[in-house]
Each structure stands twice: as structure tokens, then as C-alpha cells.
Structure 1
Amino acid sequence: MGKLVIDRGNFTDLTSVSNLFIDEYMPNANGEFVKIYLYLLRLVSGHSTEITTDALADLLCFTESDVERGLSYWERLGLISLSRDEDMHVNGIRMEAYTTNKFYVKSILNSSGSQVSARAVGDTFYGNYEDVNSEPALIESIAPANAIPAKRKYTSKEISAFSKDPRVQQLTFLAQTYLGKTLNSNDVNSILYMIDGLNLSSDFIEYLMEMCISSGNNTLGSIEKSAVNYYKRGITTIDDIKFDTKIRKSIYKSVFKIFGLTDQNAAKKDVNYISKWTETYNFSEDIIVEACNRTIEHTHTASFPYADTILKGWYNNGITELSQVEQLDEEHAKEVSEKFSSLQASKASKASNKSCSASLKKFKNMDERTYDSIELEKMLLSSTNRK
């Protein structure tokens, strides 16, 4: 594939984006959150000082809740600082400029248009910020973008505000139903941390909750621990969990080992093949392993399509046990032998027929002589008289 050459042409109306943001923060962020942050940079570069979350939501075709989640995400990473009113709604945004280790105040967006300052990176703010001088304030560095967001204890005021969130209401109800008890403050903190701290969707948390409880982990603390472990590995959707659960089964590990793969470099299409073999064909591990071994033996490559061809043939022949595979091999070998013998006999017969045909043709090609009976009689009489 050839290189792409980008010509900036006459493009002069620019919004500056830090390379550090692109290299360190953007790859791990939700695409919607990236759009929010980029538009905030656009406002700053255009010297805009006023914006509302509902206007931002309308502009980006998000819900206002999505916008607030995105702002909270960037606040936790230290790229912005937020102020909130008594109802926990965002009413001020500060953009933080940064280098590798230190972050500085760059610009301010406030509903009133006045300058505001942060107390510290990562704090949750209430009310308006205090006015500050125009000199940028040095702010301590924060954890890298891929670090697990620190858990904190939510205040009663925050819990009260979050309790109005339909997601929190639903998860609280489900947790109480599944666990059969009224949640305590630690349980509520676990739910809020998963939603607000880890930015996980309510559907993801609900699925994880059901999965953990069904496996005997009957506390929100253990559910939270599972959520953190998944978050560390970049697993944040239900499909991700299902995929991860599949590849950790014995059959998947066995196939990966034969084909020289690992959990990390297994492609979804390859996993789908194995799912087909186990769920559609309903084959046991030993049959699938045998097909994979034969694939390597014949192709010397990790070819899932080739293995699928073998297993599809066995499935169509009604194979359910490995011993039947051996029997099918014997029948196939016998059939091949019979076909070979028949072919050899056919060749011999054709060769014989060809020889006879050639002799007959040669005989037919000999000069044919015709005799007149009267002339022949005269010849005989003449010969007798001479004697």
C-alpha cells in the first residue's frame, strides 16, 4: 500500500491538539468522549467562553447525560477541571494544558464568562471557582491515561444526586433483588464507582452482576473487583466479556496452542470458527483437536478454513466420536483402494481393446484380391495341357 501525502493547502483556521493527547489519551478513550474534548478545544481556540451541556449535546447529537459522562472522564484524567452546582450539574469547565509530567491552567469556560481556578486535579467541585490572577497556576501531574481511576468515597450529597440517575436506580434495584438485601453505603459506593469512576455502561454492569452472582460471587465488592480487572484489560462491553469468556475455555486454548496463537492475537473470526465447531457441529474437544492436527500436518499453516472443511465433512457423515473418525478413515482408504483397482483394471482393458482394434485395422488394410472363376479354370486347364 502506498504512502498517503497530506497537503494542508490554504487551511489556516486551525485548532491545536497536543501530540501527547493523541499518543497517550486518545487511543484509550471512547470515541464520543474524544469528540467532546476536541470540541472544547475548538471553543478555546475560537476564544469562546460560554457553552451549556445541553447545547453541546445538541451540537454533537448526544444526550446531556453522555456529555456529562464525557466531561467527568476527562476530569478524572486531569485534562479538564469542572465545577458543579448543588444538583451536581456541570456549570464550569477549565481546560488544562499539559506537558509529560506537569499540567498548567490554559483557559477557562464558565457560564458567566469569568476566570475560575481549580483546587486540585481530580477533585470534585461544587459552586463556582474563585477568581484568580491571569498567571497560569501549576497543577500536580496525574496518573497515566491507562491507569485505573482511583476509587473514592462519595459524599451523601453526591449519593443523593446520583440516586436520581435512572441507571443508578436500575442497578440498585437489581443488586438488591439478586443479593436479597438492602444495600449499605459500601455497596452504593461500588455501584457509583463502576458507573462514574470506571465509566462502564449500566448494561455492562448488569451483565457482569448476573455473571458474578451466578458463579457464587455474591457481593458488590467482588463484582466491583471483576469490573476493575476487565477495565484493566480494555474489556468494557458485553460482547468483549463474551469473547473473553470463550477464549478462556479449554477447547479454545487447545486450538490456539496447536495453531501457535495466544489469547491476545486470536481474531474474532477464528474464535467464531471454534464456536461453530462446538455449538453448531457439537463436536467434542478431541475431535476438534484431531482436525486441527491434520490441518497442520497437511498445510503446515494455522488454517481455520481448512480445519472447518475437515470438520464439516465429519459432521455431514454423522461423526460424534473420535473412534468413528478412525472408522471413516478405514472406509475411505478401502474406497480409494477399490477405486484405484477399478481404474487400473479399466486401463488394462482399454489397452487390450486398443491392441485388438489395431490388429483388426491392420488386417482390414491388407490388399483384397478378387478372382474370376472362369479365368481360374482356364489357368488350371492350360497348366495341365502343358504337362
Structure 2
Amino acid sequence: MSFIKRSSSIDLGDTSIENIFIDVYMPMANGTYVKVYLLGYKCACEGDISLESSNMTIAKHLTLPLSDVLSAWDFWESKGIIKKHPMEEGDDTNYTVEFINLKQLYIDNNFKSIQQPSSQASEPKPFSCSPKDLVDANKVPEIKEMFMEINRIIDRPLVPNEKKEILEWFYTFNIDPPLIIKAYSYCKHKKNIKSVKYVGGVARNWYDLGITTVEQLQTYLLKKGEKFAIYDRIFKAMGFIGREPSEAEIEIMNKWVDEYQFDLTVILKACANSSKTSNPNINYINGILADWFKKGIRNVSDIEQLDQQKKVTPSPAKSKASPPATKTKFHLTESRGSKYNAKELEELVLNRNKINQ
């Protein structure tokens, strides 16, 4: 795979983004924060003071709530790549954003580290989540939803110290909220452990294996034959995005694998039939698989043969039989004229008329 840039015959303007932002800072932020940074940076690069830009205009342009824009600037300021200069005292939403030159920032930081005496050199301190960081994080929809889903998995609310430790994983392991949810769900269903320390150890192990996304995790677990990956794949096929399976649902899915001995391809084939119902659920799929099991279905080829038989052997048509005629004493078994043809009948009528004359 390669990437090619084509030139344009008309100059519609460009905004040059420093590679340091793309390589270092962009991966640690969510999409909303990146969009706010880029649009604000574009306004700064245009340099036209007559064009009034504010947090409100950015929010309207990106169709975002104002709180998301403010949270984005707080995040980038915490990373040291912008500075906020208040315009009016007491108004926290009205300020000028100064973008730090990232190349100069890199040079200054590295120059200082080179000039520092080796005796005073020390290892960089790991990120420590402060109470303010926790408050700011709760304003981010993705993080707030992550905490709520973890609460559901462990059957209790997370305490502040647990939330702070989870947030530190973002900076230590550079992973997204969906993968943290998977780590909690994995530990709960596989080991029945809810400890934040244990979950952090699992997340650290995945990081060491190069796993930073849900897709990479699913591929890894499927290769190992982990049931947890099968649950996740089934839920994805059924369109259950954003929640983890309940204990009752896991028990049903275990029956498909352990008792019915179905592999994932057969189960996914049953999940494909969920499009036939407006409200697909585990019980609906369970009914399909239970029926297949009774009919001796064991693999996808058996399903195809069953479908082919249904096409070749149509169900018998239910035709309405006409009711038998009711016989009376006036009922004739055979019509008298049935033994004559048309010409013979005509001659009989003519002869009868002659006799009567």
C-alpha cells in the first residue's frame, strides 16, 4: 500500500500541520479534541483579525456542544502545546488561544536534557492523574460512558482512586476506552476478578503484545481459541455494539459451543438470520441453533443442504376440494342424452314432431 498526493491547478489555500502533532499528540486524543485543535489552528494561521473566531463559532462550525470545545482546550493546555489567555476577568469561556511552536518546544526540551549534568539526570516521572484531571475526564462523553459500562460489569460504582488509575492507563499504554472495557469484561468473565490492579496487569500484558485496539484483541484471542472472543464476535454480528454480554447470555452461548459443538461459522450463520426479525436477541438465535442441532446440523455445508432441500421439495398445496354432490331421489347417475351426439338428438326431435302431427 502507498499514498500519493496530487497537485491542484487552483490554489484554495493550505494549512501546514507540524508532523510532531500528528506523530506524538494526535494519537493520545479523541477525534473531537483533534477537530477543535485543527480548526483553531487554521484560524490562527489565517491571521485575519477581522474574522472573529470564538469558542462558540468553533462549536457551531463543528456541530459540537460548547462544553466539548472548552474541554478540548483544557486537554491541549495540559499537554503544554497551547496557552489560554483570558480576555475578560471572570469569564472562563472567553480567551485567546496561543499555539506553541512544536518544533521549538521539541528543541527546547531536548536541549535542556542534553545540557543537564548527568549527575542530576533522572528518569521521567510517570503521569499521575490529579483530581482536576479526573473532573475534566468526566466531561468527555467517551470516558463517561466507559466508566458507566465498567460499573455495570463489576456490579458497583468505581471509586475515584480506581478512576484515576484507569485514566493513567491512557497515557501509560496509549489505549482507547473500548479496550479498557474489554479488559474489565475479560477479567470478570474469565477469572471473576474485578480488581483494578489485576485488570491493569492484563492491559499491560496486551500492550506488551502490541495490542492497542479491540480488533487486534479479537484476532489474538480467536487464534488462542478463547471463548471471550467468540462472545464478542457474536455480539458484533448481531449488532450489539457498546455493551458486554450478561451472565445469562454467556451461559446460552457456552451451550452452543460446549453442548452443541458448533464452531463460530455455524453460529454466525444463525446470527445472519436475525435480520428476519425486528428485535433480534440471544433467545431467537438459540431457537435456530437448537432446531439445527435436533436436525443433525453440524457444519455450514449441512445448513446449505437443508436450504437446498427446502427449495427442491415444495410444501404440498392445500387445494380446496369441491364438496360431493348430494344425491336425492331425483338425482340421475347418467344423463339420458349422454349416449347421443348432436346430430342424433336433432333427428330424434324431428321424428317426434312428425309423429305428433
Q: TM-score under structure 1 normalisation?
A: 0.45
Q: Based on CA coordinates, which of the two structures has the bigger radius of gyration?
A: 1
Q: TM-score under structure 2 normalisation?
A: 0.48
